[in-house]
Amino acid sequence: MRLIQMHEKLAAAFDPRGWWPAETPFEVIAGAILTHQTAWKNVEKAMENLKKKRLMDNDDPLRLARAPIETIQECVKCTGFYKQKAARLKKTAAYFAKYPSLGAFFQKPIQEARRELLSLDGIGPETADSILLYAGNKPVFVIDAYTLRACERVLGKKFSYHEAQKFFEKNLPRDAELFKEFHALLVELGKRHCRTKPLCASCPLEKDCLHSSTLGLVVPRQ
DNA sequence: AACCAGGAGAGAG
DNA sequence: CTCTCTCATGGT
């Protein structure tokens, strides 16, 4: 398997992404919720608003958990879906505040932590995995819409979230830092390329460099 | 002025 | 299981 070559090509073509842009693990968690169907630029503004209100101090979820919902709504209005996101932020903060620290939460077995994250309102597969990888440094590969389109283009068939995740995790060394940068590069590839359709025939890198035969990939059946 | 952004949840078929 | 609708502001 030479899936690692795809990472090398992307890393050679684009600047280092340096994901996740955040100062603390709890900022990663909040940002993961705020970035739903929203440009990152607006998340940055919302994060500044929250910091001005001293709601993100000391990596402590309790400050956000105790804040009035109206205050949170004002802070995150610029990211859209603001009533929903404010409620989700407050509930998620309250959940993590039950732990002595975020580090204590991430000490759990990965699958157990993932199940707990998925039980929270507003945290689906991508958000849960983003939190595990970028806030907890767990070797979990994050799948998003861009990655699913890239899979369809490179491997020639549609993948479910779980299928795509298994594919990446089975064909790469279990390295959280690699997973972080690879996912970010796949997003960059998607942004520069076709947005809504599967990646088009013209690759932004060299011709056919991302094709399965060029990469030596074996397409998994079922 | 339509179209989309670093999704998730609820409901229908 | 796979659609489809909703949530909503900000930038091309």
Q: In Å, what is the separation between the CA of A159 and the C1' of C2?
A: 13
Q: Which residue has the higher pLDDT, A9 or A109?
A: A109
A1 has a pLDDT exceeding 60: no
What pLDDT, in 10s, does the model give residues A93-146?
Answer: 999 999 999 999 999 999 999 999 999 999 999 999 999 999 999 999 999 999
- Write out which nucleotides of chain C lie closer than 7 A to a protein Cβ: 2, 7-11
Q: Which residue has the higher pLDDT, A137 or A3?
A: A137
For residue A37, give the nucleotide whose C1' atom is nearest its CA. B5
- Write out which nucleotides of chain B lie closer than 7 A to a protein Cβ: 3-9
For residue A192, count CB atoms less than 10 angstroms from its CB and return exposed for 0-12, middle for 13-18, buried for 19 or more. exposed
A173 has a pLDDT exceeding 70: yes
User: Which residue is closest to C6 in terms of CA–C1' distance?
Assistant: A81
d(CA A45, CA A214): 42
Does A20 sit behind a cis peptide bond, omega within 30 degrees of 0 on the bond before it?
yes
Task: Please say whether the dihedral angle defined by the alpha carbons of residues A121, A112, A28 and A175, taken in this order, is positive or negative.
Answer: negative
How many CB atoms sit inside 10 A of residue A151's CB? 24
Closest CA to A175 of A215, A144, A133: A133
Q: In Å, what is the separation between the CA of A117 and the C1' of C7?
A: 21
> A76 is written with which tokens?
């995150």
For residue A79, give the nucleotide whose C1' atom is nearest its CA. C9
Rounded to an integer, the average pLDDT of A70-80 is 98
Confidence of residue A157 (pLDDT cuts 50, 70, 90): confident
pLDDT at A208: 58
pLDDT at A200: 58
Confidence of residue A205 (pLDDT cuts 50, 70, 90): low
pLDDT at A195: 66
pLDDT at A194: 62
pLDDT at A154: 82
Q: In Å, what is the separation between the CA of A53 and the C1' of C3?
A: 41
Q: In Å, what is the separation between the CA of A73 and the C1' of C5?
A: 24
User: Which residue is closest to C10 in terms of CA–C1' distance?
Assistant: A78
Rounded to an integer, the average pLDDT of A25-53 is 98
For residue A84, give the nucleotide whose C1' atom is nearest its CA. C7
A201 has a pLDDT exceeding 80: no
pLDDT at A155: 83
A202 has a pLDDT exceeding 60: no
pTM: 0.93
